[in-house]
Amino acid sequence: MSDDADAVHAHYVAALTRRLQAAPEAVQRVLRAKLPAVATVEPDAQATAVPATPPRRPRAPPPRPLTPLGRLNQHIATAAQAAGTTAGRSELRSAQAFRETWSRLCAEDEVVQAVQRGPENAGPLNSHMLVLRTLGLMRELSPDYLRRFMAHADTLLWLEQASAQLKQPAAKPKASRQKK
């Protein structure tokens, strides 16, 4: 094995040994069975070995300066932390409940409109009718799943439309002819 592979292997065995010491009894049995298979000639030396050189990590690009909106968000987050507000909750519960209710109602409304616009005399295996039937069943069985599915579908539709706009060539201005 190369030096890099030896270092990675030694780090893996050391991590496995650390997990073994902190794990419950049932997990320790499984790890003990795995350790001899992993550790080759010198299990004690490899288990305590630490790679001489740490793995190289790609350098991150320098941070960009904050935009005015970014500075405002940072100021609001700092003020919320100073006031003792929970940093993880960035939205009021009532606003979150309203947003969820609104998205559920919009998803159900979109399904109702799609079913009404569906083809009238389509056969039983018509793909459009199958999708509409599936959406109707989804609305009845799991409105929350329907809401999430519709959000994903809307996102995919938006991405498709945005990529189509990017592919369109920019209109070139017509060169005007000058009469001489």
State the pLDDT at residue 95.
87
Determine the Cα–Cα distance for residues 126 and 119; give it in Å rounded to an integer.
9
State the pLDDT at residue 47.
46
pLDDT along the chain (180 residues), means of 10: 72 80 80 71 46 56 78 83 63 85 86 85 83 88 87 89 81 62
Determine the Cα–Cα distance for residues 138 and 110; give it in Å rounded to an integer.
13
Question: What is the full DSSP assignment across 52-84?
Answer: SSPPP-PPPPPPPPPPHHHHHHHHHHHHHHHTT
State the pLDDT at residue 45.
46
State the pLDDT at residue 44.
46
Q: Evaluate whether 7 touches 46 at the Cβ level (below 8 Å).
A: no
H-helix segments, the chain: 3-22, 25-38, 43-48, 68-82, 93-116, 127-141, 143-167
Q: Please tell me the number of Cα atoms within 13 Å of 6 on its side-chain side.
A: 11
State the pLDDT at residue 52.
47
Determine the Cα–Cα distance for residues 16 and 31; give it in Å rounded to an integer.
7
State the pLDDT at residue 132.
87
